[in-house]
């Protein structure tokens, strides 16, 4: 019986295993050093915040794996011998495979800062990171101040987590405005305001020079590169992005770049070896997407596509239109298609931006300046229907059409405030239009469900 071995039990690896099992009776083994059972990584913050226990992050009962004849091995793969199809594992016996799927995810970036390996310095990615945070910052008596380095989504999550335990945090962001490499300026500036309103010490345009130890080898402060200012702290959160977790693949014969190099079928240069999820790097990026995508749903889609290939129905990875969602403290964020920041904006890209005069709610629509065709949309504090925007992007609808039918995209408007009239009014004023907002097309909505 053909033996499929998957290294990594995150969303990508587990999805591949589940779908291979649905399609075949192949032998399947999942190896993980992080945890015995699959859990939802995006839920880790809620464990620290007291909203759930760790066992609540596991989507499947422990008996699920035995019931589906999926073997679990708890250990760390130290070497891949692709010639002999052999894995050396710290914590478990060596294992042979017929086909190997690498789904080892990411690890927090470290950029060689002096003191980055001191006690009290950590990232926020794994189950072990969560356990370490409980040790480093159990309360505001043990941890009197934290410094967070890096202004991305993980950084804002860590700030929110610490705030629930009344631990003061200083947030070091190298850019002049929060996440302005991704967000247009109006959105980025709104998030700056929101962070500060939550009593988080946001420092923009500053970077870390070094992390200073006390006499016991534990962090006592950080020094800023630009001013030399020293900030006392008991915890340093390194949240300046992640990088593929692939060190164990050196000398394996598998081609590596920043990640594991794969083609559209998620195949590596070595026969019967594949890579999916955060650790996979496309030889050529798909459209405007990055070659490496550390996103939950793309890992799931890669797992589904590769399962088809493994089971004889060769299928290319096709992620479709870009979308994503996140949360900035208590503001929900959604994006569909492409809305670039000012520094990455395309020549043909026009933006329409509306912001609520009082609340932290805004919308940015990107469209082609010549054809008017929708390129993408960002929303903060407004929930939109994924299926409708996915369809509008496929149908190449214009910005005028989107404004006219914006009510159709509102997610459960009976539970949320409606801002479509104000949005369309500003759009008309900005671009000299006379768009009339149409009533909600319930027939169309139900067809999409």
DSSP string, 223-253: EETTT--EEE-SEEEE-S-EEE--GGGTTSS
Q: 180 vs 211, 310, 339, 376, CA distance in Å?
A: 26, 40, 12, 17
Average pLDDT of the residues in 180-191: 96
Q: 323, 332, 386, 343: which is closest to 191 by C-alpha?
A: 332
List Cβ neighbours of 200 (8 Å cut-off, separation of 6 or more). Answer: 159, 163, 169, 170, 171
- The dotted CATH code for 3-107+243-310 is 3.50.50.60
CATH code of domain 121-240 = 3.50.50.60
230-232 and 219-224 beta bridge pairing: antiparallel
Please name which of 264, 259, 266, 260 lies closest in space to residue 303, comparing C-alpha atoms. Answer: 266
Averaged over 254-268, what is the pLDDT?
A: 98
pLDDT of residue 337: 98
Question: Span 251-273, mean pLDDT?
Answer: 97
Task: Please name which of 111, 112, 105 lies closest in space to residue 127, comparing C-alpha atoms.
Answer: 105
Entry pTM: 0.93
Residues of the chain with CATH 3.30.390.30: 323-448
Instruction: Write the pLDDT tens digit of every residue in 214-236.
Output: 999 999 999 999 999 999 999 99
Among candidate residues 180, 195, 190, 147, the one with its CA nearest the CA of residue 329: 195
> Cα(55)–Cα(347) distance, rounded to whole angstroms?
49
**334: confidence class by pLDDT, cuts 50, 70, 90:** very high
Residue pair 184/342 in contact by the 8 Å Cβ criterion: yes
Report whether pLDDT(53) > 60: yes
Which segments of 68-175 does DSSP mark as H helices, in order?
127-136, 153-163
- pLDDT surpasses 90 at 324: yes
State pLDDT tens for residues 300-320.
999 999 999 999 999 999 999
User: What is each CA distance from 272 to 86, 95, 226, 258, 301, in whole angstroms?
Assistant: 12, 15, 50, 21, 20
Q: What is the pLDDT of residue 272?
A: 98
If you search the block for the tokens 């939802």, which residue do you land on?
40
Is residue 140 pLDDT above 70, yes or no?
A: yes
pLDDT at 289: 96
- Residue 449's pLDDT is 52
DSSP state of 437: P
Class of domain 323-448: alpha beta
Query: What pLDDT shows up at residue 63?
Result: 95
Per-residue pLDDT tens for 428-445?
999 999 999 887 765 555
Ranges for all domains in the chain classified under CATH 3.50.50.60: 3-107+243-310, 121-240
Sheet holding 27-32, edge to edge: 70-74, 27-32, 3-7, 99-102, 273-275
pLDDT at residue 447, as a whole number: 55
Mean pLDDT in residue range 417-423: 88
Cα separation, 20 vs 396, in Å, equals: 35
Spell out the residues 6+ positions from residue 357 whose beta carbon is closer than 8 angstroms to its own.
Answer: none
Residue count of the chain: 449
| DSSP for residue 103 | -
pLDDT above 70 (res 276): yes
Residue 439: the pLDDT is 79
Question: For 196-210, what is each residue's pLDDT tens digit?
Answer: 999 999 999 999 999
pLDDT digits (tens, 9 = 90+) for 159-181: 999 999 999 999 999 999 999 99
DSSP for 335-382 reads EEE----TTT--TTEEEEEEE-SSSS-EEEEEEETTT-BEEEEEEES-
Mean pLDDT along residues 25-36: 95
Quote the mean pLDDT of the chain: 95
pLDDT of 448 strictly over 60: no
pLDDT at 377: 98
- pLDDT of res. 416: 60
230 forms beta bridges with 223
């Amino acid at each position: 019986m053909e033996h499929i071995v998957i290294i990594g039990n995150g969303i990508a690896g587990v999805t591949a295993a589940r779908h291979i099992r649905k399609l075949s009776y192949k032998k399947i083994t999942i190896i993980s050093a992080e945890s015995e059972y699959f859990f939802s990584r995006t839920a880790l913050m809620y464990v620290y915040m007291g909203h759930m226990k760790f066992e609540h992050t596991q989507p499947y009962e422990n008996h699920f794996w035995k019931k589906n004849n999926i073997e679990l091995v708890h250990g760390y793969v130290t070497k891949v011998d692709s010639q002999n199809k052999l894995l050396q594992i710290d914590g478990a016996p060596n294992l042979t495979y017929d086909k190997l799927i690498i789904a080892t995810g990411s690890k927090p970036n470290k950029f060689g800062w002096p003191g980055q390996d001191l006690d009290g310095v950590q990232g926020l990615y794994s189950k072990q990171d969560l356990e370490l945070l409980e040790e480093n910052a159990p309360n505001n008596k043990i941890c009197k101040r934290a410094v967070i380095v890096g202004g991305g989504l993980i950084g804002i999550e860590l700030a929110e987590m610490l705030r629930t335990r009344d631990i003061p945090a200083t947030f070091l962001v190298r850019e002049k405005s929060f996440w302005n490499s991704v967000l247009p300026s109006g959105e980025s500036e709104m998030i700056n305001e929101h962070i500060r309103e939550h009593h988080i010490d946001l420092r923009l345009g500053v970077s870390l020079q070094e992390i200073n130890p006390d006499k016991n080898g534990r962090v006592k402060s950080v020094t800023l590169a630009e001013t030399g200012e020293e900030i006392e702290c008991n915890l340093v959160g390194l949240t300046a992005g992640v990088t593929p977790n692939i060190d164990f693949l050196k000398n394996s014969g598998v081609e590596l770049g920043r990640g594991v190099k794969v083609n559209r079928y998620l195949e590596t240069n070595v026969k019967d070896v594949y890579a999916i999820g955060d650790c996979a790097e496309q030889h050529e990026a798909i459209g405007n997407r990055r070659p490496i995508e550390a996103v939950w749903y793309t890992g799931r889609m890669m797992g589904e596509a590769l399962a088809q290939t493994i089971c004889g129905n060769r299928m290319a990875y096709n992620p479709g239109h870009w979308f994503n969602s996140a949360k900035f403290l208590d503001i929900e964020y959604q994006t569909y298609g492409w809305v670039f920041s000012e520094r990455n904006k395309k020549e043909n890209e026009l933006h329409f931006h509306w912001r609520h005069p009082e609340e932290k709610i805004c919308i940015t629509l990107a469209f082609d300046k010549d054809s008017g065709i929708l390129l993408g949309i960002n929303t903060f504090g407004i929930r939109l229907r994924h299926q409708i925007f996915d369809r509008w992007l496929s149908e190449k609808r214009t910005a005028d059409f989107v404004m006219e039918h914006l009510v159709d995209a509102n997610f459960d408007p009976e539970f949320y405030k409606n801002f479509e009239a104000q949005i369309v009014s500003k759009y008309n004023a900005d671009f000299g239009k006379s768009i009339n907002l149409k009533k909600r097309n319930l027939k169309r909505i139900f067809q999409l469900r």
